[in-house]
A and B are shown apart, each in its own frame.
With several copies, the nearest count.
Chain A
């Protein structure tokens, strides 16, 4: 990775972080009337994988989708419009945070029912194969989603048909407040999926270059040998499951040491990469201030934007 590419990636990474920090600042004004599942700590996964994917690749995600949405679409206006429930929202306020999507830019759908977009991504991969192309389709989901039967059904079918379905497991070891050890009866996801005819890779999801490398690696394998890929990326969820706060005061987990927190912070980590690549402090600051400005502007715009018309209630049910 050279400095230019790294600064480009940093711009995305920092945009995601900044947007979510802004949500945290604004949230208690109670103007964003939508549950927010913040991804702070996991930003490098979406940013890295999206970077590695072909730009046209169709992607699918979950309710914890802010990073994916911003990385894939760069649509800050539609993002905040949606969180504020405005007509300017990408989904006209009908989605809120949990269902953000932008099909035209390749983020086809996200869902707040765990696991449900995995088979949908499978169907998109089938469609590509149907057209004789077998392009990569990507599904992002949490570790909890692998407990749903639909994950195994989808993996089985993609393996059977040699579909280029990239399954990205964003593993924070938690489903809400329940640790993976209280949920999964195998010796690790990689070994559990390896009985199927798929490619499987693991990487540190807090480390953007590592994510990028792992994603590129598995995509190369999928290119050569058309099978689904399972990309297992670990990260640390800094905040509560849903909402803008930390929740270290609850017994289900302990606050890590400051040093460990820094190690698990992908923005912090990547700033060190940048420095190592020779980026100067003001270059970094420059990226940040542009992002800061953009975020402020879009939040202000969203706060002033009109709500959807009452007639919107009845539209969009059927074509």
Chain B
């Protein structure tokens, strides 16, 4: 069945469909069953599956992360939700010292470790330094964790289903602004983990993007197209395992690349991408890979600084122009995406 739905509904549908298909799937975490339903992404679940399968927790992220592991070891398929990925840092000991290692440490005696940790990232309403981290590179650094970042309703739906079905731990990171995005979702369309997606074809430059940066990249590509530059957009989607082949193939053709990761670049996933692309396209690259990411500061609250902190379509256009040796085009009349248009406070 095909429907035009929001990203948030794609998430709740994926959860509902997996919970229907498999009684061992359950969803828990702070605020999961309240009336706000994690910005709508757990809507309908409580009514459909009841409080034994959709439940709240105390403020105890460390223990609840361990509990997800224990439930998985006992044969269930937990989906643990954090309304902000920053709170998952309280569960780091469990995520890194236990979840990522355990199968290996037992010599594979533990056959499956199906745990999904869903977490919201991205801008809101002055989120500040403590509610704005992304952490994909941090998680992907550790062997034993898969890391997924959908950027369209279809991917949100299909990749969340695939993550729940995966027998390995998966960190699933959802950008808050994407929740409002509407797109066609075909529930018969499966997307396996581990594949990048060429979202737009072009021959002049490759924009390798994660999460929200795909949206900015589309806007940037539209602008660049006006002056005849064809940008190709590769949505990484699966941070770990990484589909390097699709990315390298694109850059080998275009010879120019901007890596736009929704995070700090330093020691982040952007660094990994840049390193692999340089290594794999050593001969083909006409210029060094450029990285576009957060300013290397904690995230400020006040809007003017926040706007400088986050990269945008404009940042991408300017970086592409530099890479291509073009003058700066006039963007003064352009309307860029602003949060105010879609959303008013408080969160």
Residues of chain A touching chain B, judged by Cβ–Cβ distance below 8 Å, are 27-28, 30, 32-36, 58, 60, 85-86, 89-99, 101-104, 108-109, 111-128, 130, 137, 144-145, 147-150, 153-154, 156-157, 160, 175-178, 182-184, 242-244, 250-252, 307-308, 310, 312-319
Contact = CB atoms under 8 A, between A and B. Distances in A.
B309 interface: yes
Given A116-B93, A250-B35, 14 more contacts: A33-B125, A33-B303, A85-B304, A94-B298, A103-B110, A109-B110, A111-B98, A127-B76, A130-B76, A147-B59, A157-B64, A183-B58, A243-B345, A313-B308
A108 B97 CA distance: 16
Given A30-B340, A109-B73, A130-B76, A96 B30 contact: no
A90 to B, nearest CB: 7
Contacts of B56: 178, 182-183
Contacts of B78: 123
Contacts of B303: 33, 85, 307
Interface in B96-115: 97-98, 102-113
A125 B69 CA distance: 11
Given A95-B128, A124-B70, A153-B58, A109 B106 contact: yes
Nearest to B89: A113
A113 B86 contact: yes
A121 B71 CA distance: 8
Contacts of B70: 60, 119-127, 137
- Contact-residue size bin, chain B (C-beta under 8 Å from the other chain): 35 or more
Max chain A CB contacts within 10 Å: which of B56, B63, B68, B69?
Answer: B63
A15 to B, nearest CB: 22
B130 A111 contact: yes
Contact of B109 (A30, A60, A90): A90
Max chain A CB contacts within 10 Å: which of B73, B309, B347?
Answer: B73
B125 A120 contact: no
A212 B78 CA distance: 35
A177 B36 contact: yes
Max chain A CB contacts within 10 Å: which of B60, B143, B168?
Answer: B60
Interface of B is mostly: loop
B295 interface: yes
B105 A99 contact: yes
B58 A310 contact: no
A89 B107 contact: yes
Max chain B CB contacts within 10 Å: which of A150, A182, A183?
Answer: A150
B97 A123 contact: no
23 contacts: A85-B302, A85-B303, A92-B302, A94-B129, A94-B300, A98-B301, A108-B74, A111-B130, A113-B87, A113-B90, A115-B59, A119-B63, A126-B67, A126-B70, A130-B53, A147-B58, A149-B60, A307-B305, A310-B305, A310-B308, A312-B300, A313-B297, A314-B295
